[in-house]
């Protein structure tokens, strides 16, 4: 019995049509194109989605940081695949023209070599749970963010890695477009429970969260204040969680 692949072309989106053209048609597409998808673009989309899950991650050691590190290395070495004698494409040269690529290049070297001779280039990734507070003093989980602390400045990993890809694309003739994926929006609560489990980590030793609030222009900015982060165990769900709520003032 021969299996038949049925494709409903009439109801396809533009993206699905492009995918079909690549995967099922006799189109000559270089192997490096699929390597970029497999090693960088697909893991980047999956990382973006997982960061939107409501959970607490170890700030320094978890699977999502490991995935981001691999993506950073892949992006850093991407230009080399298009290097020629006439067109020298190395990140260590190109990064002089683009700040996003400079951070990714230094991060990649820091991951591979642990400690760099030029100490100011050393950097790493930190996972931070982002919490929004409103005027009613209620809280909402936004997402987890990965930050790269580079030369005293904190950069959002998703933003700089996509910026670096777009810059590299101008040199290798590929247009990269990326949209951050969010699984769902969460509601404001008096106290929020952030599940803490071993799905993406082996331990929870370091915890980091940042509370932000919308200013008059609707931009989220850090909101100073005292907040209590406490451990909560849910036996029904067989999971640990972190409770976040306002710190009660002593009477």
> What percentage of the chain reaches a pLDDT higher than 90?
41
Q: Look at strands 125-133 and 209-214 and give their pairing.
A: parallel
SS3 168: helix
Q: Name the pLDDT band for 116 (thresholds 50, 70, 90).
A: confident
Q: How far is CA 40 from the centre of its chain?
A: 12
* 29 in any annotated domain: yes
The total of structural domains in the chain comes to 1
Q: What pLDDT was estimated at residue 250? A: 54
Residue 198 has pLDDT above 60, yes or no: yes
Average pLDDT over residues 226-251: 54
137-169 burial, b for 16+ CB within 10 Å, e for fewer? ebbebbbbbbbbebeeeebebbebbbbbbbbbe
Whole domain around residue 139: which residue ranges?
16-246
Asked, for residue 3, whether it belongs to a domain, the answer is no
Average pLDDT, the chain: 81
* Domain annotation covers residue 114: yes
The answer to whether residue 7 is domain-embedded is no
pLDDT at position 190 is 87
Instruction: State the pTM of this model.
Output: 0.79
What is the predicted pLDDT for the residue at 5? 45
Share of the chain above pLDDT 70, in %: 76
| pLDDT reading at 233 higher than 70 | no
Element (H, E) at 38: none
Answer yes or no: are the C-beta atoms of 106 and 123 closer than 8 Å.
Answer: yes
Give the closest residue to 200 by CA, choosing from 117, 129, 124: 129
User: Is the pLDDT reported for residue 6 higher than 80?
Assistant: no
Between CA 103 and CA 91 the distance in angstroms is: 11
User: Using one digit for the tens of pLDDT, what is the confidence trace for 137-154?
Assistant: 899 999 999 999 999 999
Among the ranges given (6-15, 79-88, 117-126, 182-191), the one the predictor scored with the smallest mean pLDDT: 6-15
9 belongs to a structural domain:
no
The pLDDT value given to residue 25: 55
pLDDT of residue 101: 96
Residue 224 lies in a domain: yes
Q: Is residue 10 part of a domain?
A: no
User: Does residue 190 form part of some domain?
Assistant: yes
């Amino acid at each position: 019995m021969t299996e038949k692949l049925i494709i409903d072309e009439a109801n396809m989106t533009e993206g699905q049509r492009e995918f079909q053209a690549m995967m099922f048609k006799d189109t000559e597409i270089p192997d490096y194109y699929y390597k970029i998808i497999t090693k960088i673009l697909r893991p980047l989309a999956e990382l973006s989605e997982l960061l939107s899950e409501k959970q607490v991650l170890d700030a320094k050691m978890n699977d999502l940081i490991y995935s981001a590190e691999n993506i950073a290395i892949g992006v850093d070495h991407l230009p080399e695949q298009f290097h020629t004698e006439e067109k020298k494409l190395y990140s260590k040269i190109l990064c002089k023209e683009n700040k996003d690529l400079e951070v990714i290049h230094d991060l990649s070297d820091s991951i591979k070599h642990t400690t760099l001779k030029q100490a100011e280039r050393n950097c790493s990734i930190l996972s931070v749970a982002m919490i929004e507070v409103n005027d009613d003093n209620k809280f909402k989980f936004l997402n987890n963010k990965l930050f790269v602390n580079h030369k005293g400045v904190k950069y959002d990993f998703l933003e700089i890695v996509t910026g670096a890809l777009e810059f590299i694309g101008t040199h290798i003739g590929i247009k990269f477009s990326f949209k951050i994926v969010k699984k769902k929006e969460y509601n404001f609560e008096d106290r929020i429970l952030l599940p803490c489990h071993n799905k993406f980590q082996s331990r929870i030793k370091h915890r980091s969260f940042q509370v932000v609030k919308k200013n008059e222009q609707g931009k989220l900015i850090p909101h100073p204040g005292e907040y209590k982060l406490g451990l909560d165990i849910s036996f029904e769900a067989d999971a640990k969680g972190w409770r976040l709520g306002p710190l009660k003032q002593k009477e």
